[in-house]
Amino acid sequence: MKILNSNEFDNAIASGIVLVDFYADWCGPCKMMLPIVEEISEEFAGKITVAKVDVDGSPSTAAKFGIRNIPTILFFKDGKVADKQV
């Protein structure tokens, strides 16, 4: 699983299917979701890319996608948001 910063984000989502977990280290629900996200990463390895974005470390990326609650998971297909789960 990749941890992305604002500089890497656009390239990481540019092609294929990418699941991005927007989280914060201090967020209790985010910590509860971590094993599930890790399991998805392992189960779908080679089929989709799973990445995480720390909203405190990359606030501009979080703002770009209107992330107001965490955890939020965005699904991208070829660089475009395909689905969102809060």
Spot the catalytic one: 27, 33, 40, 48. Answer: 27
Active site residue 30: yes
CA distance 18 to 2: 11
Three-state SS at 12: helix
Spot the catalytic one: 30, 53, 62, 74. Answer: 30
Is residue 85 within 8 A of residue 19, CB to CB? The reply is: no
Taken as a whole, the chain contains a residue count of 86
Active site residue 8: no
Q: E-assigned strands of 1-86?
A: 2-4, 17-23, 49-54, 72-77, 80-85
Show which residues are catalytic.
27, 30
